[in-house]
Amino acid sequence: MTVCKTTGLTVEQQNRWPFLYSHLSTDIEIPSLTNVDEQFIIEMDKEISKILKKVGDGKAKSRESLTRHLTGLLQRRFQRNAKVQAFGSSVTGLSLGTGDLDLCLSFKREQPKKVLRKIAGLLREEGMMDIQQIPKAKIPIVKFTDSRSGLDVDISIENRLAIYNSKMLKGYAQDKRVREFILMIKYWASRRGINTAFEGTLSSYAWTLISIQHLQMTNPPVAPNRQKGGKQNLIEINGDTFDISNDSSPFESKNQQTLASLLIAFFDRFATRWDWNEMVVSIRNGGPLNAEKKKWTHTGPLPLEIVTGQSKNRMEHIMPIEDPFDHEHDLSRVVKAEGAMTIQEEFMRALHLLSQGKSWKDICAPVMEIDEEPEDFFHDLRNQNTDSLKQRIEEMKAEVVQVEERIHSLVTERQNSKELLDLLRGTLQETRNVKSNRQSILAELRPLSMKVQELRQTRDGINDRIAIPTKRIQQEMVRMFDSLTAEVDVFNTQSLGREKGDFSYFFELQAMYKASIESNQAHQEFIRLRREQNKEYKALKNTNSQEEDVLNRLVEKNPELKGINLHPKTVKEFQQNANKLQKSINIQYSNKHELKREIGRIEAWIRIATSKGNQRPRKDSKPRQNRRQAPTVNINEVRERASTGGSFSLNELDALLSKGGISGIESKEKTSTSGQSERRKSGRKKSTYRVDPRQGRKRGKKQSRN
Ligand code: CTP
Ligand code: MG
């Protein structure tokens, strides 16, 4: 493998990042865009306005109806507790039509447990595709693709800040020039494959913030600072406080620059003049923040060091971008080394192409070749006759019935399996109750036996010392008391020694009496506890037969349990079986949805073909060359209806056919995303160096390989 001595990049990497590589390895001059020809700007503006006509949220209606559908679904599942709100580009007005649908699910009362799993289950039943749960993120998310519209959807949980920041972005986007500028940056980032946070580049949201920052910094500013009002609006989320104040008053800019000239200035700024090591993008500040003051200076290795294998450590604050409300959130924390290299390559590429007078279309050329004349949505149906299509529909409908039957039987089987599982769990629970009853008896018996033992020892110990029964001691005490207290016969007095002996005998009797009482009490307690102990022994014996009884009773009531080994392991097996059945059910559901979609598509085509003056469908799949211009209709809207099987006027139909069916939008979206994913796939192997090329080169040279 040939490795560049200066940079450490392999040939493959050099080819992947050619502009960046030439800056890192040689002393080529960084082009300047300060004196761009006016005619060039005029041409570029013309081009941009053409692109702007094409982009836009052609799927707005699908988004709306899908949002309504999902809202209903989630509210039925979580009752009135659930609240669904859209955010992101479908509300900010910053959609290119290719973005995802961002929804936020929040709860008015307590959030249900295992909520992501519940949502995923619900979506599966709906036949949604590629369902992924991301439970560990700060904001948990379920991602999926709507099988009908093909829209990618993110449902995030309690994403309150996103609702507020979307509202603010909507405010910024009210200004036409600001909106169009952001759209063009998003367009460029999307076509060049650098707008996917989860694959290590920047999110569309981050590109939006960078765009706004640029427009705030032009002279005079094109965009205002909507967070400068002074009056705070504090909210608390999970114990943290955020100021979500947002000045939505109209802003009149004195800046006269056109979109093209603003875009050129954008690339000039971010490709060469923005020092990512010292500057933090901050739209709430209206201009860059000092990275050192914010404690966001870059730490860790440079991207180049990572991609060339010199370091495996983590990079921090590689392209610091502050979230306008969550000031601790750096949107570049998702950027990986390869992503940072690719972003910088794209900045450099745009700068070079612009300096060479290349068009905006060239700058935004998709990273993978896209088929500019894609097959249309009905291409395979055009040369088929209506009757055979109708027959196909009938066959597919019969298949749907079969699939539904299969689903029904699988669901019933799973239901039975689940019931048996519940029964098993219940049985184990009941016998567990008996077992735990036994445990608690044993737990009580242990101290009881010890106490009985103790009492016995006390009693016997005393009795060993005092052989005389209590009654006898009492009598002796009375006798001695009488004798010691009787009137003294002066002529017959006892000797002093004898009297002392009587007294000590009396005291001894007293002590014996006390001990004897203690012994009696111990004996009484001993008897009582022995009785209790006997009762517990009986209860213990009972539990054995109880366990048998429970099992017999349950098997009698539920013959299904006969022969089943009532053991926790069996429960696990049953659970696994139920899961397997659920998987088969999901597969059948997606088969059903697939079939229904195909039926809808063929039906839509038959409607189109027959309503077109009862003409036979066209034989060739390519749009006709010299077709007359379709009447003015909103083609995106018509395509939208065609994809969902809606009806059209003849004018609309005409327009649709002359634009190649509904494929225009569909295929472009597909190709552009597939282009991106290709780029992303290959991007994984890529690497980068620090975003400022001059720094990178210095580092590269210093650490060159010999
Ligand atoms: N968001 C956020 N924090 C992030 C990323 C996104 O708060 N780190 C929120 C923002 O409210 C943003 C929304 O999520 O508006 C959607 O993000 P994203 O899909 O990246 O932007 P869109 O403008 O919706 O772009 P696209 O049209 O490509 O979907
Ligand atoms: Mg989005």
Residue nearest to atom 3 of ligand 1 (CA): 162
Ligand 1 centroid from CA 326, angstroms: 14
> What's the whole-number mean pLDDT along residues 290-318?
96
pLDDT tens, position by position, 200-223: 999 999 999 999 999 999 999 999
> What's the whole-number mean pLDDT along residues 527-547?
84
| Confidence category of residue 369, pLDDT binned at 50, 70, 90 | low
The pLDDT > 70 percentage for the chain reads 85
Position 175 scores a pLDDT of 96
| Confidence category of residue 637, pLDDT binned at 50, 70, 90 | low
165 lines ligand 1 (CB under 6 A): yes
Ligand 2 centroid from CA 121, angstroms: 23
326 lines ligand 1 (CB under 6 A): no
Ligand 2 centroid from CA 123, angstroms: 19
Q: Which one-letter DSSP state was computed for residue 330?
A: B
Q: Which residues lie at CB < 5 A from ion ligand 2?
A: 88-89, 99-100, 102
Q: Write out the H or E segment, with its range, that includes residue 83.
A: strand 82-87
d(CA 254, CA 301): 43
d(CA 629, CA 622): 16
Residue nearest to atom 5 of ligand 1 (CA): 205
Ligand 1 centroid from CA 626, angstroms: 43
Position 693 scores a pLDDT of 38
261 lines ligand 1 (CB under 6 A): no
The residue assigned the tokens 């006759």 is: 385
154 lines ligand 1 (CB under 6 A): no
Position 645 scores a pLDDT of 54
323, 165 Cβ separation under 8 angstroms:
yes
The answer on pLDDT for 280 being more than 90 is yes
CB neighbours of 288 closer than 8 A, spacing ≥ 6? 213, 274, 279, 280, 281, 282
**Rounded to 5°, angle at Cα 507 from 506 and 509:** 65
Residue nearest to atom 1 of ligand 1 (CA): 162
606 lines ligand 1 (CB under 6 A): no
| Confidence category of residue 649, pLDDT binned at 50, 70, 90 | low
Q: Which atom of ligand 1 is nearest to the CA of 96?
A: 27
Ligand 2 centroid from CA 608, angstroms: 33
Position 662 scores a pLDDT of 46
d(CA 129, CA 362): 34
Q: Write out the H or E segment, with its range, that includes residue 208.
A: helix 204-217
Q: Which one-letter DSSP state was computed for residue 348?
A: H
Q: How would DSSP label each residue in 628-659?
A: PPPPS--HHHHHHHHHTT----HHHHHHHHHT
332 lines ligand 1 (CB under 6 A): no
100 lines ligand 1 (CB under 6 A): yes
Position 698 scores a pLDDT of 37
Q: Is 3 helix (H, G, I), strand (E, B) or coil?
A: strand
* Residue 277: how many other CB atoms lie within 10 Å: 16
pLDDT tens, position by position, 37-60: 899 999 999 999 999 998 877 788
What tokens does 493 get? 């007095």
pLDDT tens, position by position, 54-68: 887 778 888 999 999
Q: How far is CA 51 from CA 181, 250, 629, 670, in A?
A: 12, 27, 20, 18
235, 241 Cβ separation under 8 angstroms:
yes
Residue nearest to atom 27 of ligand 1 (CA): 99
Position 470 scores a pLDDT of 85
Lowest mean pLDDT among 196-200, 260-264, 323-327: 196-200
Per DSSP bridges, beta strands 101-107 and 152-157 are parallel
The answer on pLDDT for 560 being more than 80 is no
What tokens does 88 get? 């992101």
Nearest to 261 by CA among 183, 181, 194, 364: 181
Highest mean pLDDT among 114-118, 167-171, 606-610: 167-171
216 lines ligand 1 (CB under 6 A): no
The pLDDT > 90 percentage for the chain reads 47
| Confidence category of residue 679, pLDDT binned at 50, 70, 90 | very low
574, 109 Cβ separation under 8 angstroms:
no
From first CA to last CA, the distance across the chain in angstroms is 14
Nearest to 94 by CA among 209, 191, 9, 192: 209
Q: Which atom of ligand 1 is nearest to the CA of 163?
A: 11
Position 67 scores a pLDDT of 94
Ligand 2 centroid from CA 601, angstroms: 27
325, 209 Cβ separation under 8 angstroms:
no
Residue with the larger pLDDT of the pair 601 and 291: 291
Q: How far is CA 56 from CA 26, 272, 458, 669, in A?
A: 41, 31, 95, 12
CB neighbours of 214 closer than 8 A, spacing ≥ 6? 262, 265, 266, 269, 270
The residue assigned the tokens 């999926």 is: 144
Sheet order of strands, 152-157 included? 82-87, 101-107, 152-157, 141-145, 129-134
What tokens does 73 get? 């679904």
Residue 192 amino acid letter? R
Residue 336, classified by CB atoms within 10 Å of its CB into exposed (0-12), middle (13-18) or buried (19+), is: buried
**Tally of residues, the chain:** 706
Residue 240, classified by CB atoms within 10 Å of its CB into exposed (0-12), middle (13-18) or buried (19+), is: exposed
Q: How would DSSP label each residue in 253-309?
A: ------HHHHHHHHHHIIIII--TTTEEB-TTTTSPEEHHHHT---BS--HHHHHTT
Lowest mean pLDDT among 113-127, 225-239, 530-544, 628-642: 628-642
Ligand 1 centroid from CA 549, angstroms: 62
Residue with the larger pLDDT of the pair 621 and 588: 588
Q: How far is CA 639 from CA 92, 465, 621, 654, in A?
A: 23, 109, 17, 12
Lowest mean pLDDT among 124-128, 364-368, 636-640: 636-640
The answer on pLDDT for 651 being more than 60 is no
Phi, psi of 547 (to 5 degrees): -60, -45
Per DSSP bridges, beta strands 152-157 and 234-237 are unpaired
Beta bridge partners of 289: 280
The residue assigned the tokens 């400022």 is: 692
Nearest to 374 by CA among 655, 674, 641: 674
Position 348 scores a pLDDT of 95
Q: How far is CA 134 from CA 28, 138, 194, 575, in A?
A: 45, 10, 22, 24
Residue with the larger pLDDT of the pair 375 and 520: 520
The answer on pLDDT for 608 being more than 80 is yes
90 lines ligand 1 (CB under 6 A): no
Nearest to 319 by CA among 359, 347, 285: 347
Quick one: which ligand is closest to 141's CA? Answer: 1
Q: Which atom of ligand 1 is nearest to the CA of 195?
A: 28
Q: Which of 55, 102, 139, 157 is the pocket-test mutation for ligand 1 (most atoms within 8 Å of CB)?
A: 102
What is the average pLDDT value for the chain, to the nearest integer? 83
205 lines ligand 1 (CB under 6 A): yes
Quick one: which ligand is closest to 87's CA? Answer: 1
Is residue 220 reached through a cis peptide bond, with omega within 30 degrees of 0 on the bond before it?
yes
Lowest mean pLDDT among 8-12, 13-17, 555-559: 555-559
Q: Which atom of ligand 1 is nearest to the CA of 323?
A: 3
pLDDT tens, position by position, 229-274: 778 999 999 899 999 999 988 999 999 999 999 999 999 999 989 9
> What's the whole-number mean pLDDT along residues 416-432?
80
Ligand 2 centroid from CA 619, angstroms: 40
| Confidence category of residue 654, pLDDT binned at 50, 70, 90 | low
Ligand 1 centroid from CA 183, angstroms: 13
Residue nearest to atom 9 of ligand 1 (CA): 162
